[in-house]
Amino acid sequence: MIDDLSELTRAALDSIALATSTDELRRLEHEHLGKDADLMVARRQLGGLPVEQRKDAGQAINAARQLVEQSIHERQIALAADERAAQFDAERLDLTEVATDVAVGHAHIVSQAWEELEDVFLGMGFRVAEGPEVETDWHNFDALNIPPGHPARDGFDTIYVKYGEAGSTLLRTHTSPVQIRTMLAQEPPIHVIAPGRVFRRDTADATHMPVFHQLEGLVIDRDISLADLAGTIEAFTTAYFGAGFSSRLRPNHFPFTEPSAEFDIQRPDGSWLELGGCGMVHPNVLRAGGVDPEQWSGFAFGFGIDRLALMKFGVDDLRELFTNDVRFLSQF
């Protein structure tokens, strides 16, 4: 029995020494020390031995078990260290590596259109003006010859802000209030554009959004005529879209211009796209801006930037511009 035991122990120690992973070691531990292991079975059979052999045999079995336990423990420590080292090696980051496939974004197509338009108008001698998005009712309407009760107010689907007297503060419905702010801030001659966000109580669909972008233009100088307006619109159209495009004015009505027109651009395929409104600045508007209509005259225009971006990039649903799906945006 003692011979058997040393044979058994040697075999166990050999297999433990040869184990190559902590998983394998766990299996060996079960095999040599588990309930059904030979050593454990022998221990349970001690009771069947003659009394004088029992003590020695018991001690031998315990010594063997301790030896096996000890060697499993040591091998476990060594294998775990190896495995950790291998894992660290596999997961090492080379921080000196130069990345070659970094994803770099770009300006949104509305921003691209906005910036290109600024470039075009700056090249034509305009300066960029700004105004607040939260406006007074006076700048957005009254000063633009739209007094309280004027039917044109209904057409704007205004979003009012709870501030001050009821109805006195709103989210600007167009960029035209910047005309007033600019006239009040500087003497003519004035040549400005005012790109910016505007707001209307609209339900989002393929051609409408409650928030969109407009670009306003205002020129105040001596002897400005409708021909200057038409020429400016034609010049900007061809500068922005390219040589195959042209523009036309169609009579229309706005309270803040007289005469007023709508302007369209013609695509190379001959089709027309309605782009915005324009006209000669109404004398009441000049007066509200502190400009003497006897000495100065001017024109103004305004159009949607988003629409123009849609057309330039061949997109047919305005909502695409605002859902900010990178898969869509990264195409441009």
Q: Which residues bind ligand PHE (CB under 6 A)?
A: 174, 176, 216, 254, 257, 276-279, 300-302
Q: Is 104 exposed, middle or buried (0-12, 13-18, 19+ CB in 10 A)?
A: exposed
CA distances from 89 to 8, 98, 265 (A): 38, 20, 64
Q: Between residues 176 and 284, which has the closer beta carbon with respect to ligand PHE?
A: 176
Phi, psi of 34, rounded to the nearest 5 degrees: -70, 175
Looking at this protein, which amino acid is placed at residue 136? T
Q: Between residues 39 and 199, which has the closer beta carbon with respect to ligand PHE?
A: 199
Q: Between residues 188 and 279, which has the closer beta carbon with respect to ligand PHE?
A: 279
Q: Between residues 32 and 200, which has the closer beta carbon with respect to ligand PHE?
A: 200
Minimum separation from the CB atom of position 300 to ligand PHE (A): 4
Q: Which residues contact residue 172 at a Cβ distance below 8 angstroms, ignoring those fewer than 6 apart?
A: 131, 132, 133, 134, 135, 139, 140, 196, 198, 199
Q: Between residues 247 and 257, which has the closer beta carbon with respect to ligand PHE?
A: 257
Beta pairing partners, 248? 264
DSSP helix, strand, coil percent of the chain (3-state; round to 5): 45, 20, 35
Minimum separation from the CB atom of position 250 to ligand PHE (A): 13
Minimum separation from the CB atom of position 314 to ligand PHE (A): 25
Q: Between residues 25 and 215, which has the closer beta carbon with respect to ligand PHE?
A: 215
Alpha-carbon torsion, ordered 182, 186, 192, 194, to 10 deg? -30
Minimum separation from the CB atom of position 301 to ligand PHE (A): 5
Asked if residues 298 and 283 have their Cβ atoms less than 8 Å apart, the reply is no
Minimum separation from the CB atom of position 106 to ligand PHE (A): 29
End-to-end CA distance of the chain: 84
Q: Between residues 9 and 145, which has the closer beta carbon with respect to ligand PHE?
A: 145
CA–CA separation, 168 vs 111, rounded Å? 31
Taking the CB of residue 150, how many other CB atoms lie within 10 A of it?
Answer: 14
| Nearest-5° Cα angle at 191, 187 to 196 | 110
Minimum separation from the CB atom of position 132 to ligand PHE (A): 16
Minimum separation from the CB atom of position 139 to ligand PHE (A): 12
